[in-house]
Structure 1
Amino acid sequence: MELELRHLKTIRAIAEAGSLTRAATALGLAQPALSAQLRRIERALGGALFERGRYGVRATALGELVLERTRIVLPAVSELQREAARFARTRRDGGRLRLRLGGTHGPLLGALVDRLADAAPGTSVTTCASWSERELAGLLAEGRLDFALAGVSGSAPPPDTPHLVWEEIAVDPVFVMLADGHPLARGREIELAALADEEWACVPGDGCFADCFTAACARAGFTPRRMYETDTASCVHLVQVGRAVGLCRATFPPTPGLTTRPLAGTPLVWRHLLGWQPAGQRPDIAATVLAQAREAHAGAAARSDSYAHWLAQRRETPDTASGMVP
């Protein structure tokens, strides 16, 4: 058997976990399969890499030697992958600059692609959508994306991934979606406590939004009855038929049968972010994409009558308590 990078990663995972059981869980393997793989690796290297004991495993002298090399080889290969991705990213095919954009659910990704098509007509743009901010950050770190649109709730930090920078595009209040016939749809804003008996719908994610929403409900004196986490189209349907009240960003586009309204006191806010690797991106390209992302957000905000009205009110009476800046 020839030694491969995946074998070195397996050795490192076992050493970091301190036991085969924990390492198997981290690697998504059954422990017998990991034990068999380790035996094959040890045969290829000519000796035992770990001593098994009652409380886990400990590297042998040979294991320490191999681990020392993995600390050099694995980062070097990762850097090679990043450099190759940067080279491929900046290469021009037929005079066209290639950009790979990622984004979570929402209207901004499509709006950004549209604006880049006008601002840089010679650019070839591909997109990748994901529910997971952490997944997008990982794709950026691996060089598989050039830029990613993501978001976090309130003052929560963005995904903590080395070598990435996150710039704020805008901060929005979180609105609620109601069926047009809902009794509260006629008001200008809604007290969160007035929705205590409702069921809820929102799109999934791996950030802290669910915790922030639960905390806001607790401050309003209730616990949410039920939360349907599903795709945007299903959320819209659940709201239209009166099954649930939806949570949405204030830039949610006008939709037949739906009314979006702000929550009194702005108990929830959403920060739109753009992330990229500074070392692998030309500053002028990063500045252009960031500027176009901000323009895309401004356009989405202008298309929402309820958001435009909310912004106009805040300009007249700034809501300093919520931290929102018009």
Structure 2
Amino acid sequence: MELELRHLRILRAIADAGSLTRAATALGLAQPALSAQLRRIERAFGGALFERGRYGVRATALGELVLERTRVVLPAVSELQREAARFALTRRDTERLRLGATHGPLLGALVDRLADAAPDTTVTTHVSWSERELAELLADGRTDFALAGACGSAPPPGAAHLVWRDIAVDPIFVMLADAHPLAHQREVDLAALADEKWACVPGDGCFGDCFTVACARAGFSPRRMYETDTASCAHLVQVGRAVGLCRATFPPTPGLTTRPLTGTPLHWRHLLGWHPANQRPDVAATVLAQALRAHARTAARCDTYTDWRTRAGHGIRPADCCAVALEEGAV
């Protein structure tokens, strides 16, 4: 794993909080997700950074070394970002929009819509699997808008001073190889996939916990989860290594079939965010309107999603997804 600034911020939050539970609350993460991230960070540094005890965590000698460096690096980088953002604002020669986004077809559709709606505007993009990173880019003024998402009723990522607007709520579909025995079914019962391995793009929200709870309610625990980029997920499914989890707007792909899950146990909220101090209301309204049209256009191109929408009305409500996880102690 390649270390990023957000990993240092996570370590700083754990040290300041003195426990993983309090740090998870401060970061807006589920504790299992934070613990998993800490393990990956520790592997990148080559050793344990914190000792876990009955009353919290304490930095190891290696952890103290890393934390001491973060006290210098993080403030310096934050100040550099603020200065660069201020400089960029004063040096704009042409109109431009900087979009951050998670992986998915909605970003391309939005860029296409903006090309028609604002042909004189230059649009640049930054793609990340981390919704939290996208929120940080907005807060620091390094992007103008962000296409992110949240699982079920989970709160939007980032600080409270950011503005987030819902674009759509989509079901999570399962991605199967065309030759899979269940690919011909109109929808797939999650319990029928108990013996499968899984593939999904990574994230730093509660989706993994909600998926685990959904599997537990179906009577099984997932055998294995491959967390990788969208193209690699598709490849793992195509070659029969795994079945995948994808948004309902996943585009038609040779060798792959997407199907709704019976009862719609998982949902994904598409969100558009911006910093109100950095955007004119008319620009924000234009981008939001185009994002709504982009989603509608993307959804209309997916026959499986169109078929599901004509039959919608079954399963739990989108807002119940994370509530179920909370009740069962996973989040």
Aligned pair partner of 1:322 in 308, 317, 325: 317
Q: Does the 8 Å contact 2:173/2:260 carry over to 1?
A: yes
Q: CA deviation at 1:171?
A: 0.3
Equivalent position amino acid for 1:164 in 2: L
CA distance in 1, matches of 2:284, 2:231: 32
Q: CA RMSD in A?
A: 3.1
Residues 80-89 or 175-184, more deviating? 80-89
Q: For residues 256 and 162 of structure 1, do their structure 2 counterparts lie closer, same or farther at Cα, with a shift above 3 Å needed? A: same
Residues 143-170 of structure 1 show CA distances to partners (whole Å, capped at 9, x for unaligned) of: 0010011101110111131420111110
Q: Give unmatched runs, 5+ long, in structure 2.
A: 1-11, 19-48, 51-57, 320-331
Q: Does the 8 Å contact 2:139/2:275 carry over to 1?
A: yes
CA distance in 2, matches of 1:37, 1:176: 41
Q: CA deviation at 1:205?
A: 1.0
Residues 98-119 of structure 1 show CA distances to partners (whole Å, capped at 9, x for unaligned) of: 1110001111111111110111
2:80 corresponds to 1:85: no
Aligned pair partner of 2:127 in 113, 126, 129: 129
| Partner of residue 281, structure 1 | 279
Q: Does the 8 Å contact 1:102/1:129 carry over to 2?
A: yes
CA distance in 1, matches of 2:316, 2:199: 27
Q: Does the 8 Å contact 2:188/2:260 carry over to 1?
A: yes
2:310 corresponds to 1:312: yes
- SS of match in other structure, 1:85: helix
Q: Give unmatched runs, 5+ long, in structure 1.
A: 1-11, 42-73
CA distance in 1, matches of 2:235, 2:70: 49
Aligned pair partner of 1:237 in 235, 243, 249: 235
Q: Does the 8 Å contact 1:164/1:275 carry over to 2?
A: yes
| Partner of residue 182, structure 2 | 184
CA distance in 2, matches of 1:249, 1:37: 37
Equivalent position amino acid for 1:215 in 2: V
- For this pair of structures, how many residues does the alignment match? 265
Q: For residues 111 and 32 of structure 1, do their structure 2 counterparts lie closer, same or farther at Cα, with a shift above 3 Å needed? A: closer
Q: Does the 8 Å contact 2:169/2:318 carry over to 1?
A: no
Higher RCO, 1 vs 2 (CA within 8 Å, ≥6 residues apart)? 2
| Partner of residue 53, structure 1 | none
Residues 151-160 or 215-224, more deviating? 151-160
Q: CA deviation at 1:278?
A: 0.8
Aligned pair partner of 1:119 in 95, 117, 120: 117
Aligned pair partner of 2:249 in 244, 248, 251: 251
CA distance in 2, matches of 1:81, 1:220: 46
Q: CA deviation at 1:122?
A: 0.6
CA distance in 2, matches of 1:90, 1:266: 48
Q: For residues 117 and 182 of structure 1, do their structure 2 counterparts lie closer, same or farther at Cα, with a shift above 3 Å needed? A: same
CA distance in 2, matches of 1:206, 1:305: 30
The 5-angstrom pairing of residues 63-212 of structure 1 reads: 85=85, 88-89=88-89, 92-93=92-93, 96-212=94-210
Q: CA deviation at 1:33?
A: 8.2
Runs of 4+ with deviation above 2 angstroms:
15-18, 28-38, 80-92, 318-324
Q: For residues 90 and 124 of structure 1, do their structure 2 counterparts lie closer, same or farther at Cα, with a shift above 3 Å needed? A: farther
Q: Does the 8 Å contact 2:152/2:318 carry over to 1?
A: no
CA distance in 2, matches of 1:174, 1:90: 42
CA distance in 2, matches of 1:128, 1:293: 16
Percent same amino acid among aligned pairs?
74
| Partner of residue 226, structure 2 | 228
Equivalent position amino acid for 1:322 in 2: R
